[in-house]
Amino acid sequence: MYSMKQACQKTDLSYETLKLYCNQRLVPNVKRDHNNRRVFDDRDIAWIQIINCLSMKGEASIPERKRILSAKKDDLIEQMQRIRESIDCIDHKRSFYD
């Protein structure tokens, strides 16, 4: 897990900008530590980098944006497959109990 300061360093954002992203809910499901401070994992960092790329680099970044979106789509398809497998397992167990 990364602190706000560490997340800022990893994403090249100012503290204020990252805080704004969080407050505007551009970074979903931000976690908090035991002191109620925001903390970020690697997925959060990747998400923040996507937001940065999509919003700040103009047309020159279109190939990079496409690559990022393609990678994100692949991740989501993989997650969807794991969810389908979990649902199938649950259905199988329910059938067994029936």
pLDDT tens per residue, range 19-78: 999 999 889 889 999 999 999 999 999 999 888 877 766 777 788 778 878 888 898 899
Residue 11 has pLDDT above 80, yes or no: yes
Q: Give me the pLDDT at residue 61, please.
A: 75
Q: Decide: 8 and 14 in contact? Cβ < 8 Å.
A: yes
Amino acid at 5: K
Which position has the higher pLDDT, 6 or 54?
A: 6
Q: Does residue 15 sit in the same domain as residue 47?
A: yes
Q: Per-residue pLDDT for 8 more than 80?
A: yes
Q: Contact, 50 vs 21, CB < 8 A?
A: no
Question: How many separate domains does the chain show?
Answer: 2
Question: Are 67 and 48 in a shared domain?
Answer: no
Same domain, 22 and 52: yes
Beta bridge partners of 39: 31
Could you tell me the residue range of the domain that residue 50 belongs to?
Answer: 1-56
DSSP secondary structure letter of residue 36: S
For 39, 86, 87, the CA distances from 28, given in Å and listed in that order, are: 12, 23, 24
Are both 18 and 50 inside the same structural domain? yes
Whole-structure pTM value: 0.57
50/4 same-domain check: yes
Amino acid 86: pLDDT: 97
Residues 73 and 91 in one domain: yes
2 CB neighbour count, 10 Å cutoff: 17
Same structural domain for residues 29 and 73?
no
